[in-house]
């Protein structure tokens, strides 16, 4: 990676880092709409493409009330630790297509659980102006610190503590399946992020339906766009 680019990206993230607030700026009882956000990638003729899908769910009924997607060519290179810069343009363009404004965004990925506390969920919050949560399927190891597996009971968790600071949480959303990894994005505390995540977990998956539906939508959108590309004369 170009050293000047690395310094520039570091500066952006470190400037934002000082503005992170890991406390609720909203009343949990008033949450009405929660969005799940995910992206998928593919390559065609040496060109990288991505699609961002957003599914907005009613908090009480858990039904999808709005959805949007945006597909385009990936302009930013893959750089470990700086994925937000690659994904954020797609997220914002998909958000622009929504009819309803979610109260909270849940990302398939990390937030505060990041070497600079600037995973996609956190960095996106500053553009979205809304509380965010990161829900990851796999563990992002930081400073060679492993996580402690929670007991095999629904709702059991262990905090991920690195250098005496809580970065996130390992959450057992269902018994007899792998845990998921919860982290605050911004303007929300970890207990509330956990409660909202568990609220949306159903029997079909260890993932909350918010990010699960977004994940399924990205796979379908990727198949659809790949088919269009391969069917070109």
pLDDT at 230: 66
* pLDDT the model gives residue 229: 67
Q: Could you read off the pLDDT of 205-226 as tens digits, one per residue? A: 999 999 999 999 999 999 998 8
How far apart are alpha carbons 151 and 142 in whole angstroms?
Answer: 22
What's the pLDDT at 147?
97
pLDDT of residue 185: 98
Helix axes 120-128, 83-95, angle to 10 degrees: 40
pLDDT of residue 226: 85
* pLDDT at residue 4, as a whole number: 86
If you write DSSP's letter for every residue of the chain in order, what string do you get? --HHHHHHHHHHHHHHHTT---S-SS-GGG--EEEEEEEEEEEETTEEEEEEEEEEEETTT--EEEEEEEEEE--SPP-TT-HHHHHHHHHHHHHTT-SS--SEEEEES-SSSSTTS--HHHHHHHHHTS-EEEEESS---BTTBPPPPPPSSTT-EEEEEETTEEEEEEE--STTS--EEEEEEESS-HHHHHHHHHHTB-TT-SSBHHHHHHHHHHHHHHHHHHHHHHT--
> pTM above the 0.85 mark?
yes
pLDDT of 231: 67
As a whole number of angstroms, the distance between CA 222 and CA 50 comes to 8
Residue 179 CA to residue 37 CA, distance in Å, equals 20
| Pick from 121, 132, 110, 109: nearest CA to 215 | 109
**Residue ranges of the chain with per-residue pLDDT less than 70:** 1, 229-233
Whether the Cβ atoms of residue 211 and residue 106 lie closer than 8 Å to each other? yes
- Please give the structure tokens belonging to residue 175: 């018994």
């Amino acid at each position: 990676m170009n050293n000047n680019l690395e310094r520039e990206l570091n500066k952006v993230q470190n400037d934002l880092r000082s503005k992170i607030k890991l406390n609720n700026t909203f009343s949990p009882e008033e949450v009405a709409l929660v969005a799940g956000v995910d992206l998928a990638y593919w390559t065609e003729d040496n060109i990288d493409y991505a699609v961002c899908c957003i599914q907005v769910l009613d908090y009480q009924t858990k039904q999808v009330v709005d959805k949007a997607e945006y597909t385009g060519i990936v302009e930013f290179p893959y750089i470990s630790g700086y994925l937000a810069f690659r994904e954020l343009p797609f997220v914002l363009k998909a958000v622009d297509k929504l009819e309803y404004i979610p109260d909270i965004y849940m990302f398939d990925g990390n937030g505060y659980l990041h070497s600079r506390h600037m995973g996609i969920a956190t960095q996106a919050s500053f553009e979205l102006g809304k509380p965010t949560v990161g829900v990851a399927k796999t563990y992002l190891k930081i400073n060679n610190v492993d996580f402690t597996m929670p007991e095999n009971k629904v709702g059991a968790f262990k905090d991920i503590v690195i250098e005496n600071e809580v970065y996130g949480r390992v959450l057992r959303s269902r018994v007899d399946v792998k845990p998921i990894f919860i982290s605050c994005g911004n303007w929300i505390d970890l207990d509330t992020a956990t409660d909202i995540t568990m609220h949306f977990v159903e029997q079909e998956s260890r993932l909350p339906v918010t990010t699960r539906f977004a994940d399924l939508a990205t796979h379908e959108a990727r198949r659809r766009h790949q088919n269009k590309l391969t069917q070109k004369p």
